[in-house]
Amino acid sequence: MAVTLQACSGAVNPAAPQQPTSEAEALIQTEQVGPTSDLSITTAVNTDLDVTPTATEISSPEGQANATATPDLRLDPADWMEWPVVPMISDRAKQIYNEGIEKGLDPNVFSKSGDCQNITTYFLAVFEDPDQYRLGAEYAYLQETIYYYDGSFSRESMAVKGGMNVAAVLSPMRANQTYCKGGESPLDCELRLNNPSIMLVSMEEAWGEQNSAANYEKYMRMILDKIIANGTLPIIATKADNLEGDHRINETIVKLAYEYDIPLWNFWRAVQGLPNNGILADGFHLSHGYNQFDNKYALQSGWPVRNLTALQVLDSVRRQLAEMP
């Protein structure tokens, strides 16, 4: 039985404001959901984002013989709501990245994989048009990363589309027939065409009753395995919404970030405290605002915070990989 997806599946987001002056096939059907109006912004938000994780010591399995084994000092997945928005990267993440560079992946290129929360109309492409964003003094340091990844921000990824969920991105049926080879999935196609050293993986789709966290985990594992096998470092993101009601998708995302020892962009935490947590009345689409990061009112909306924190994550990961301050 086919399962109909909700949220941005096939939907069109509200227009962005202009800058002032098999089993897999059964899971990829979509339903159009109409846009809703922007929420009025009436409250201030604390935009001071925590970027410094604190370590949690995790005990070794009972009976383990090696009493001198190094304790696991990574953050506890059970405390994912307290994980920082911007991650620290592990030795394993550095290993994945360095092996990819040795294979010939491009250090100046990243890719995106996801649904309508990742389309260039709203996500990251503004950083290739100086008239469409304003860093301000506080975030001026991020300009170096904008130059470093020039061309990646506005790229139309083969692995991004409205309604693109964890099953669809693995299905050749959803590949762009103009650019992708026969039998190639959208994910495989993007990895081949763009040769990225880093990939942002942000799969927010809400799931119907028959789409459990177990299904999400099953396909997300396949996604991560493919990306890592290519030599590309995945940066996996939590989602702002909680349409499933119990945060089980975000819990699964964090569990996988921990297990694979890869960077987590905790976008969920970034929008806590924004009006309606940066989400429109439909419970899924992000609220719009200008990408003016020196404007506290702009940073009360979901999309500017998404763009800013994604850029912060790319900047931090880039610096850590290069062992820069």
Mean pLDDT of 280-307: 96
Mean pLDDT of 279-306: 96
Q: Which residues of 44-70 are buried (b: 16+ CB within 10 A; e: fewer)?
A: ebebeeeeebeeeeeeeeeeeeeeeee
pLDDT greater than 90 at residue 278: yes
Bridge partner residues of 109 (DSSP): none
Sign of CA dihedral 49, 273, 287, 135: negative
Other Cβ atoms within 10 Å of 107 Cβ, number: 16
pTM of the prediction? 0.81
pLDDT greater than 60 at residue 199: yes
Mean pLDDT of 236-252: 93
pLDDT tens readout for residues 39-57 = 233 333 344 444 444 333 3
pLDDT greater than 60 at residue 225: yes
pLDDT band at 75 (very low <50, low <70, confident <90, very high): confident
Domain boundaries, the chain: 23-31+78-321
- CATH number of the structural domain 23-31+78-321: 3.40.50.1110
